[in-house]
Every structure is written in structure tokens, then in C-alpha cells.
Amino acid sequence: SQELEQSPQSLIVQEGKNLTINCTSSKTLYGLYWYKQKYGEGLIFLMMLQKGGEEKSHEKITAKLDEKKQQSSLHITASQPSHAGIYLCGADKQAGTALIFGKGTTLSVSS
């Protein structure tokens, strides 16, 4: 069965620093989703990538999907305390199905 592995498991960065979170799949992805979760709250949708080599940005967050569609990275530029939370990658094997998720990366930003 397909699995998603995220790294690192947790990350502490100083405010203003850049960081990268990775998500690797054991199989080719149909779609790759990035969500953010704050403790005690639901998942907030960040971005979705479908095409090999695709890159999307929203404010200071950039996500990329590699050409083989098996690995994605999430890059945050000039981190802020508001970026703190748990980042989850999710994937569906084909259109219209449910998602499987990685275990998440916990990000802390120190000021």
C-alpha cells in the first residue's frame, strides 16, 4: 500500500530563517496536498500539486512536486511565529478518492 513519509518529524527555527519540509511517496502520486494544522484545530488547505515539476507559491510558502511525482517539498521563506504548527502532506492515488497522509512535521518558530 502507498505510504507517505515526511521529514523532518519536527523542526525548530529562529524567526526570519528559511526552512524546508519534505514528503516522499512510495508510489507515483496523482495529486499531492499540503495542509497546516494548529493544535486543537482542523486542517487548513495550503496547496495542491498535480503535474510533475509543478511549483506553487502562496505568500512566503512555496511547494514543489518533482518530475517523477513521488516527492514534494514545502519551503518557507523568512519564517514567522504565525508559521508555527503541524504541516501534513496528503495524497490520493487517483482522482476522486480519499487521501492518505504523512505523519506530519511540527514546526516551531522562536522569536
Partner 1 sequence: DAGVIQSPRHEVTEMGQEVTLRCKPISGHNSLFWYRQTMMRGLELLIYFNNNVPIDDSGMPEDRFSAKMPNASFSTLKIQPSEPRDSAVYFCASRGGVAADTQYFGPGTRLTVL
Site residues for partner 1 per CB under 8 A: 31, 33, 35, 40-45, 48, 50, 88, 90, 95-104
* Interstrand relation of 55-58 and 4-7 (parallel, antiparallel or unpaired): unpaired
Q: What is the DSSP string of the chain?
A: ---EEEE-SEEEEETT--EEEEEEESS--SEEEEEEE-TTS-EEEEEEE-STT-EEEETTEEEEE-TTSSEEEEEESS--GGG-EEEEEEEESSTTS--EE---EEEEEE-
